[in-house]
Chains A and B, each alone.
Chain A
Amino acid sequence: MPSTRDIRRRIKSVKSTAQITKAMQLVAASKMKKAQDQAIAGRHYSNLINKVLVNLKEKVGDESHNLLEERTGDKEILLLVTTDKGLCGGLNTNLIRKALDSAGANTTFVTVGRKGCQSIGRLKKDLLADFPVADPASFAQCKTVSKFVLDKFLEDPEIGRVRVAFTNFITTLTQTPTIETLLPINPMTLGRVMDFEGVGGGDKPESAQEDFTGYEFEPNASSVFDSVLPQYVNNQFYQMLLESRASEHSARMVAMKSATDNAKQLIKDLTLEYNKLRQASITNELLEITTAMKALE
């Protein structure tokens, strides 16, 4: 049986925990708003560039590019985008589990975010590089990562594909761990999962319905592809990172909100117990006094 003093102490400590989680919830909420706006604003661009590439790939049959060609090598790079900080529910755990499930023996990891780097290190997996990306994500930092991956891919013909594991932001309450193939570029499949309004991805853009046979390129197809494809990769990866960040802050806010709610419930229960105990002790005292009085009569 705990004494009233013990319970009082516990109530105090739970209260201060609730204060901290409440503060974290508010911070996450404001960051979440920003990150969500950024992610949603970026979708237009990546949807459109995706549509254009779908179109190009369809209409330009014979002109190809080494970033577009399917490869046979069985090595692969898995780019794992996780958060730097914890306290965001099962976000990282779910993502890392999904990434590890899909990874084969020939998978090399490249990580963005401390949590992913730590768990890959702990599991003694093959870690190629780790990139820190600040919050909010800057395009320049993001570009270093995608450039690194692009260079690796072009250097080593053994690398069959590069995939990205990230958390796709759907709503504040739902985020799904997702794995997408980034290289070789296949606009038909890439972006399918990322799309929400059902306009991008493999769907044909409205311009594809127009009847024509081929595009002209200025100055020529290979130079257009040379400049567009790396841009496309950079942009897609940036968008994935933005989605991850939006997910992170949403998940953290939700986690902190439920922590605050739990703490409040706990305070309520403890206060009830405390009052019961207090009343019991008062009743006891009264009883003792009355018995003492009876005995004296």
Chain B
Amino acid sequence: MPLQLEIVTPEAQVFSDEVDSVVLPGNIGEMGVLPNHAPLVTTLLPGELSFTKGGATTELALGEGLVEITHHHVHIMTDMAVSDAEIDEAAVEAALQRAKDSLAQKSNAEEVASVEAAIAKSLAQLKLKRKRRNL
């Protein structure tokens, strides 16, 4: 029985299909998931997710979130999930620069945390985009 992968963000259901394997950016490092994985719950850090279906690998940039793995299901709830084609490098870089600039002015711990989260998300997108180009 293959693995049922479901990715949702607050804006939309990004992906829902059967896949052969998933690699996701877990809280304590990259984690590969194959069918019949032990039930596991962990948080996600901004990074890259890739899944293989019939030999073809697809990659997505993920934001922070939560993943629930059971034997045949992977449920990913995240605040961002974009594919390579959807990333506009210039726009992301501009956003990154803006976030870095505003970081200098923020004093409130909470604001700093949210800006840092935005930076991590932008970096994850850039990393995926650039990796693709270097191949």
Q: Distance (Å) between the CB of B18 and the closest chain A CB?
A: 13
A218 within 8 A of B: yes
Q: Report the nearest B residue to A213, measured CB to CB.
A: B39
Stretch of A1-9, A97-105, A223-231 that contacts chain B: A223-231
Q: Is B28 among interface residues, defined by CB-CB distance under 8 A?
A: yes
A43 to chain B, nearest CB (A): 10
- Contact indicator B12/A44 (Cβ below 8 Å): yes
Within 8 A of A (CB), among B10-49: 10-13, 26-28, 38-43
Verify if B70 is at the interface (C-beta below 8 Å from A).
yes
Q: Is the CB of A207 within 8 A of B70?
A: yes
Among B12, B42, B70, B75, contact of A218 (Cβ-Cβ < 8 Å): B42
Once bound together, how far apart are the Cα atoms of A222 and B79, in whole Å?
Answer: 21
Q: Is A214 an interface residue (CB 8 A)?
A: yes
Q: Which residues of B contact A (CB under 8 A)?
A: 6, 8-13, 26-28, 38-43, 66, 68, 70-73, 75, 77, 114
Query: B70 to A212, Cβ gap below 8 A?
Result: yes
B77 contacts across to A, CB distance below 8 A: 45, 48-49, 52
Residue of B nearest to A242 (CB): B10
Are A41 and B12 touching (Cβ within 8 A)?
yes
| Shortest 3 CB-CB contacts between residues of A and residues of B | A218-B42, A207-B70, A44-B13
Is A210 an interface position by the 8 A CB rule? yes
Known: A216-B40, A227-B43. A52 touches B68 (CB 8 A): yes
Q: Are A45 and B9 in contact (CB under 8 A)?
A: yes
Within 8 Å of chain B (Cβ to Cβ): is A297?
no
Q: A49-B77, A207-B75, A218-B26 are in contact. Are A228 and B43 (CB under 8 A)?
A: yes
Cβ A217 vs Cβ B41 within 8 A: yes
Partner of B75, one of A42, A48, A216: A48
Tell me how many residues of A have a C-beta within 8 Å of chain B: 32
Flag if A215 contacts B39 (CB, 8 Å): yes
> In whole angstroms, what is the CA distance A212 to B13 when docked?
27
**Roughly how many angstroms separate A210 CA and B75 CA in the complex, as a whole number?**
14
- Tell me the complex Cα distance, A41–B12, Å: 5
Tell me the bound Cα distance from A52 to B66 in angstroms.
10
Chain A residues with CB under 8 Å of chain B are: 38, 41-42, 44-46, 48-49, 51-52, 55-56, 59, 139-140, 206-207, 210, 212, 214-219, 223-224, 227-228, 231, 235, 238
Cross-chain contact A48 with B70 (CB below 8 angstroms)? no
| Nearest A residue to B74, CB-CB | A207
Residues of B within 8 A of A212 (CB): 39, 70-71
Q: Report B-chain residues with C-beta under 8 Å of the C-beta of A55.
A: 68
Q: Contacts of A51 on B, CB cut-off 8 Å?
A: 75
CB-CB under 8 A from A44, the residues of chain B are 8, 12-13
Residue of A nearest to B43 (CB): A227
Let me know if B68 and A235 touch, CB within 8 A.
no
Pairs across A and B, CB under 8 Å, 22 listed: A41-B12, A45-B8, A45-B77, A48-B8, A49-B66, A51-B75, A52-B66, A52-B68, A52-B77, A59-B39, A206-B73, A207-B70, A210-B71, A210-B72, A216-B39, A217-B42, A218-B40, A223-B43, A224-B43, A227-B43, A227-B66, A235-B10
Closest residue of chain A to B38 (Cβ to Cβ) is: A216
| Bound complex: CA A49 to CA B77 (Å) | 7
A42 engages B10 (CB within 8 Å): yes
**Closest CB in chain B relative to A287 CB, distance in Å:** 74
Q: Considering the chains assembled together, what is the distance between the CA atoms of A218 and B9 in angstroms? A: 22
Q: Which of chain A's residues have a CB closer than 8 A to the CB of B71?
A: 210, 212
Our pick among A140, A215, A228, A238 for the contact of B40 (Cβ within 8 Å) is: A215
Within the assembled complex, what's the spacing in Å between the Cα atoms of A188 and B26?
A: 27
Q: Tell me the smallest distance from the CB of A187 to a CB of chain B, in Å.
A: 13
Q: Which residues of B contact A45 (CB under 8 A)?
A: 8-10, 13, 77
Please, which residues of chain B bring their CB within 8 A of the CB of A59?
39
> Which chain A residues lie closer than 8 Å to B28 at the CB level?
218-219
Q: Given A52-B75, A218-B27, A139–B10 Cβ distance below 8 Å? A: yes
Min Cβ gap B102→A in Å is 13
- Complex: how many Å from CA A38 to CA B9? 12
